[in-house]
Amino acid sequence: MTNDPEKLLSRYNAGLCNEAEKAMVESWYLKLSAEEAAQLDKTSALSNKEAIWTELSANKARKYSRRLKFAAAAALLLVGSITALYYRQSETIKPAVSGQANLTAIVPGGNKAFLTLADGRKISLTDAASGEIAQQEGLSIHKAADGQLVYAVADQKKRDHKGASAFNTIETPKGGQYQVNLPDGTKVWLNSSSSLRYPTRFENEKRVVQLKGEGYFEVAKRKVKFMVETGGQEVEVLGTHFNISSYANEKNIQTTLLEGSVRVNVAEGAEKISRLLKPGEQSTVAGSAIAVRDADIEAVMAWKNGDFVFKKEDLKSIMNKIARWYDVEVVYSENLDHLKFGGYVSRSKSISSVLKVMESTGKVKFSIEGKKVIVSRP
């Protein structure tokens, strides 16, 4: 167990804590009222770092509560060493985002997706009731009570029948996310504006899926390789946990490894360039070049954990994430490429809460017209 509160809180927000560590973070934060938490600032938190750790260490384990993740993210912000922005009621906050009357039409995303079967049938997973939604090649496709898509064998004889593989596609719209358990047991979480094409029966030689957008994979261990094709990149694994971000409107493809090992391959003419990643590393593919560096796991996994975490991130990159999650269009009145921001905000918060975080710096201003967010200088 780490003896540094900053590292502990970082592990917590990244979902890497064990039960005892989770309980210490939560039991400490439960002692703070919302008003007390809002009044804390970075300086006072740093000066009380030792006291915070003593408080954390003194508590016994208790059952983990998912709803406190954002509270822990706020706690991490307070003791963090980076310059972070956090929305709180104070006289330093700028006036509300203009266009408040339009905000009722803009809501945070949720579990929304469409499943297109090999025979062309398209099923709205958002609207489908829990239970079996289709049968296919000896498989029963269920929508679980918590919304995830699960495959189970319904007819082993049909399942054993050899034939050409059929492919299904699950896609999330803007403002959507979804989890699917593939026929081989692999779990995939899709971020908004993403799609995954996968076979209903994996071949003996390899398991291949195609990803567009962003997905987090927990690959079931098998003797055959699992491969993710996305853009000009191919990721090759046996059984591991990793995240891939490959949006068309982003400059690069990023693959971040949390557990196990993955090999990232890109083609350069007739040759293939490969890099093997270790846990905690991230590859960035630009064209045929692969660069590897240490990953910021907390920032990478924020979307899956229900948060926005920005650390000196480009304004356009941040606004791309906001546009996808809140299903809005972003328009820039001028070139603001040089601006960078940091901060922590729950993805369950209103869009105005997120925008106010950046407006409070005095560097940028937002106005809203319908579902269009206009970005300008203050």
The backbone torsions φ and ψ at residue 138, rounded to the nearest 5 degrees and listed phi first, read 80, 5
Q: 110-299: which CATH topology?
A: Jelly Rolls (2.60.120)
- Cα separation, 8 vs 1, whole angstroms: 8
Burial of 60 (0-12, 13-18, 19+ CB in 10 A): exposed
The backbone torsions φ and ψ at residue 45, rounded to the nearest 5 degrees and listed phi first, read -65, -40
How many secondary structure helices (H) and strands (E) does the chain include?
Answer: 10, 24
Q: Between β-strands 187-190 and 206-218, what pairing exists: parallel, antiparallel or unpaired? A: antiparallel
Residue 248, classed as helix, strand or coil, is coil
pTM of the predicted model as reported, rounded to 2 decimal places = 0.74
**199: its two tokens:** 């076979």
Question: By C-alpha distance, which of 167, 151, 115 is closest to 142?
Answer: 151
The boundaries of every CATH 3.55.50.30 domain in the chain are: 100-106+305-376
- Cα separation, 364 vs 213, whole angstroms: 28
The amino acid that residue 318 corresponds to is: I
- Cα separation, 378 vs 97, whole angstroms: 11
The boundaries of every CATH 2.60.120.1440 domain in the chain are: 110-299
pLDDT in tens, the chain (378 residues): 565 666 666 666 666 666 566 656 655 544 444 444 444 444 444 444 445 444 444 443 333 333 344 444 444 443 332 233 333 333 333 444 555 545 557 899 999 999 999 889 999 999 999 999 988 877 889 999 888 899 887 766 665 556 667 899 999 999 999 999 998 899 999 999 999 999 988 877 789 999 999 999 999 988 889 999 998 899 999 779 999 999 999 989 999 999 999 999 998 777 889 999 999 999 999 988 999 999 999 999 999 999 999 999 999 999 999 999 999 999 999 999 899 998 888 999 999 888 988 898 899 999 999 899 999 999
- Cα separation, 227 vs 234, whole angstroms: 7
Question: By C-alpha distance, which of 10, 94, 6 is closest to 309?
Answer: 10
Answer for the pair 171, 189: CB distance below 8 angstroms, yes or no: no
Q: 100-106+305-376: which CATH topology?
A: Phage tail protein beta-alpha-beta fold (3.55.50)
Question: Apex CA 304: angle with CA 299 and CA 307, to 5°?
Answer: 60
Model pLDDT, residue 165: 73
The residue behind tokens 């997706």 is 113
Model pLDDT, residue 138: 75
Model pLDDT, residue 91: 30
Model pLDDT, residue 160: 59
Model pLDDT, residue 159: 57
CA-CA-CA-CA torsion sign (221, 224, 230, 234) = positive
Model pLDDT, residue 376: 95
- Cα separation, 247 vs 213, whole angstroms: 4
Phi-psi region of 287 (alpha: psi -120 to 50; beta: other; left: phi over 0): left
Model pLDDT, residue 157: 64
